[in-house]
Amino acid sequence: MQCFSFTPHRHLTQGFSVQNDVTFASNRRGPHGQAGTGSPLLRLYARAQFISVPAIIHRRRSPILSQNAVIFDMDGLLLDTERLCCDAFVEAGSAFGLPDLTDLFLKCIGMRMAESNNIVRTGLDGRVDFDAFIALWRHKNAEKHRLGIPLKPGAREVLTDLRTQGIATAVATSTNTTSATDHLTKVGLAGFIDHIIGGNQVTRGKPAPDIYLLAAERLGYATKDCFAFEDSDPGTLAAVHSGATTIQIPDLKQPAPEVLQLGHIVAPNLLAGAHRVGLLSAKTNAVEQSL
């Protein structure tokens, strides 16, 4: 989502495990090994004509290919801003006398501001003034960002390694371009990224594939020749639908069962995911394997 430190509740991480650090996500196969087509979420995206359900289901490919470019989400993947944003959200709710709003915030992850505002408005259900809540949330979030934006583990190492190898990179984020550029500049990552594409540059936000298609175009590659790293379900759906080889690094919220059916790669962190698809140099691989 477009973000504006919190320690996640225990239920946010329960039930998520990774075998041998990285696994291929799979779930509920049919009698001939095919993935099921009954998922409401998959049917929703098929009806929206992003891609057909069979094309979604059967987009499994070899984990190590000859891709030439890498596209990253930002919040919750490179920057640990989702935690800041969630903390501010919960604090804003508490200031209005509302119960813990963590679950409502989680529904906003990966979405642009307009979409997340609609989710919040519905979730608040008239219990407090919507505009006042949003104003306080943004104020608290801005205060937290001023204190410093933490990086996700492996973000600097992976980007540095890709730059050393001469591999083209882009960021495709639901956050608007100006804010994204400002955040990446402040943490010293902007210089490792060739193009920054914010959610304001596309008509349809994630889970539509538009932002990944645009990022690949800016890089000068077909999406099939790109790796895409994401943390959220909407972002993962966008990346998979674009045709990129997709690696999901869950952050505050574990993947939904219908998203796991897509057959993409799921990894515990950026270094492990980049190692699994053969992106890292020997030196950085040694660092990843020592962790």
Positions annotated as catalytic residues are: 73
DSSP 181-208: HHHHHHTT-GGG-SEEE-GGGSSS-TTS
Instruction: Compute the Cα dihedral for 266, 212, 1, 36 and give only its sign.
Output: negative
Distance CA(76)–CA(250), nearest Å, equals: 8
Strands (DSSP E) found in 58-204: 69-72, 168-172, 195-197
Q: Phi and psi for 85 in degrees, rounded to 5?
A: -65, -40
Distance CA(93)–CA(228), nearest Å, equals: 34
Closest CA to 199 of 237, 172, 218: 172
Distance CA(256)–CA(46), nearest Å, equals: 17
Quickly tell me which residue has 């495990």 as its tokens: 17
Residues in the chain: 291
3-state class (DSSP) for residue 188: coil
Distance CA(159)–CA(229), nearest Å, equals: 12
Quickly tell me which residue has 């390694």 as its tokens: 161
Strands (DSSP E) found in 34-102: 69-72
Would you state the structure tokens that stand for residue 110, as one six-digit string? 């990966």
